Amino acid sequence: MKIVHAASELFPYVKTGGLADAVASLAGTLAEHGHEISVFVPGYRAALEHPDAALAEKILRLKIEMGDEFLSGDVRMFAPRKNLKVYLICREEFFDRKNPYGTGERDYEDNADRFIFFCKGVVETMRVADLQADVVHCHDWQGALLPLLVRDAERKHGVTLAVKTVFTIHNIAYQGLFPRSVFARTNLPDDLNSVDGLEYYEQTNLLKGGIMFADRVTTVSPRYAKEIQTPEFGNGLDGVVQTREHDIVGLLNGVDMAVWNPATDALLPARYSMASLGGKLMCRAELLKRCGFPVGFKGAIYGVVARFAEQKGLDLLLANQDFFLSHDCRLVVLGAGEKRYEDAMRALVEIAPDRVSLSAKLDESMSHLIEAGSDFFVMPSLFEPCGLNQMYSQVYGTIPIVSRVGGLIDTVTDADEFPDSGTGLMCGPNAESLGDALQRSMKLFADKPRLAAVQRRAMMKDFSWHVAAEAYEKLYQESL
């Protein structure tokens, strides 16, 4: 099949979270399975600075209609592996910035224009480069206009650009919600500027367009597919999701074992596997050293790697700070995003610099080291569409402490509740329940044979992407 993906992040070119990993692994695995894959991402500064992009060819000049003006840009293309082409939709004014979405305190004011331009650039490239896609698979609100724009362009130009469209919701909390006036920038027919189209309580909601108009809708775990049909998790779009009740499926993400595998991970100071865990101890020592803690420390190390956003349950973690201050343990946090969480974490480090360490930045190699060197990985999310870190931590023999929501339920089993099959500890999501899980983790840490058994079971789990990629292949085939 010829499959076009459009997303706002793609590992290793631009990444703020799991979207980048998920799109890269899906596209890579489909390419490996022999499909012809094109992935479109905005030409962000980070992507253009990547060595692969130095080899990119400018294949097209763009002149994109945005309301009553035309904006220019260009398209660069490179092929990082067999069957895989990456297209960058470039316009300096929009994408040559330090961060993809905002400053950390607020979103960029022109985000609507930036991503409408991106989607239109994808459609224009598909048309001019004649990509003849079987499936256009777009991701999250930044790609959500594509199902509508593809059909609109086909009508305007009398061509077929794609047989079917698939839209994946990686996170329904981010919707691309803008003032109503933004609709004009789409140049879509006026009847779509209504409640049967993109209008949402007097605003323009881009995500809504993807959910309503894609031929098939997916999300990233079976549990989340159910949750987003409820007011509690639907973020106001539960009614819209319900209208697609029969077309929506939850396909669990996987782990890209070429990137996240302790036996081959080049970002670690030492490698290890279930049969030989010595390398994990070396990773632990390196982690302690990097955090400025005594390398011989024997207590439990709790790791956190998270976007600093409310979703990740950082408030629950902070509410339990006394646990970390009063037990023989260390807390190692890596995160970037909202400044209020960075400030709160810094304040905690100031109280106990000998127990808590913070790296407030994006740091790929540190994220691997935390997964490898910690004993527990703490992820008390308030909601979690899938979550990748709890899977990575299991593969790395680090026991996840997660809340009972979304994909976390689909990928972790509580070791106290299910002593013969548990691979982690589950809680809340609330501060008290997290406190209880942290206490239980101390008991587990003290019982070394039980700890080793839980760790072994976690490392034996198969999260490989082939299962997920096959599920997408089946979905594409069915829709065609």
Contact residues: ligand ADP, CB under 6 A? 17-19, 21, 305-307, 334-336, 362-364, 367, 386-389
Q: Cβ of residue 401: shortest distance to ligand ADP, in angstroms? A: 14
Of these partners, ligand ADP, ligand GLC, none, which one is at the site of residue 42 (CB under 5 to 8 Å by kind)? none
Give counts: helices (H), strands (E), the chain.
20, 18
Q: Which is nearer to ligand GLC, 199 or 473 (CB)?
A: 473
The total of other beta-carbon atoms located within 10 Å of residue 442's CB is: 16
Q: Cβ of residue 207: shortest distance to ligand GLC, in angstroms? A: 13
Residue 9 in contact with ligand GLC, rule: CB under 6 A = no
The residue number with the shortest CB distance to ligand GLC is 18
Point out which span in 34-42, 100-108, 151-159, 378-386 binds ligand GLC (CB under 6 A): 378-386
Tokens standing for residue 241: 């999701």
Site string (224-263) toward ligand GLC, x via CB under 6 A? -----------------------------x----------
Closest CA to 162 of 138, 137, 135: 135
Residue 22 in contact with ligand GLC, rule: CB under 6 A = yes
Q: Which is nearer to ligand ADP, 75 or 259 (CB)?
A: 259
Q: Which is nearer to ligand GLC, 279 or 387 (CB)?
A: 387
Of these partners, ligand ADP, ligand GLC, none, which one is at the site of residue 334 (CB under 5 to 8 Å by kind)? ligand ADP
Q: Which is nearer to ligand GLC, 7 or 47 (CB)?
A: 7
Q: Whole-angstrom Cα distance, residue 144 to residue 162?
A: 15
Point out which span in 226-234, 258-266, 268-276, 381-389 binds ligand GLC (CB under 6 A): 381-389
Tokens standing for residue 396: 């790395």
Residue 19 in contact with ligand GLC, rule: CB under 6 A = yes
Q: Cβ of residue 194: shortest distance to ligand GLC, in angstroms? A: 29
Q: Cβ of residue 387: shortest distance to ligand ADP, in angstroms? A: 4
> Please, which of residues 385-404 interact with ligand GLC by CB under 6 A?
385-388
Q: Which is nearer to ligand ADP, 121 or 303 (CB)?
A: 303
Residue 312 in contact with ligand GLC, rule: CB under 6 A = no
> Please, which of residues 402-441 interact with ligand GLC by CB under 6 A?
407
The residue number with the shortest CB distance to ligand ADP is 18
DSSP H helices in 338-426:
339-351, 364-373, 389-395, 406-411
Whether 304 and 349 have beta carbons less than 8 Å apart is answered as: no
Whether 65 and 120 have beta carbons less than 8 Å apart is answered as: yes
Q: Tokens 């950390």, residue?
A: 104
Residue 279 in contact with ligand GLC, rule: CB under 6 A = no
Give the phi and the psi of residue 456 in degrees, each rounded to 5. -60, -45
Whether 396 and 364 have beta carbons less than 8 Å apart is answered as: no
Q: Whole-angstrom Cα distance, residue 257 to residue 265?
A: 9
Helix (H/G/I), strand (E/B), else coil: 74? strand
Whether 161 and 136 have beta carbons less than 8 Å apart is answered as: yes
Whether 267 and 261 have beta carbons less than 8 Å apart is answered as: no
Using CB under 6 A, pick the residue from 17, 43, 176, 197 that binds ligand GLC.
17
On the 0-12 / 13-18 / 19+ scale of CB atoms within 10 A, 345 is: buried
Q: Whole-angstrom Cα distance, residue 380 to residue 366?
A: 20
Give the phi and the psi of residue 432 in degrees, each rounded to 5. -65, -45
Give yes or no for a cis peptide into 12 (omega within 30° of 0).
yes
Give the phi and the psi of residue 426 in degrees, each rounded to 5. -125, 150
Site string (196-225) toward ligand GLC, x via CB under 6 A? ------------------------x-----
Using CB under 6 A, pick the residue from 124, 338, 342, 384 that binds ligand GLC.
384
* Cβ contacts of 155 within 8 Å, gap of 6 or more: none
Q: Which is nearer to ligand ADP, 335 or 380 (CB)?
A: 335
> Please, which of residues 123-182 interact with ligand GLC by CB under 6 A?
170-171
- Using CB under 6 A, list all residues that contact ligand GLC: 17-19, 22, 170-171, 220, 253, 384-388, 407
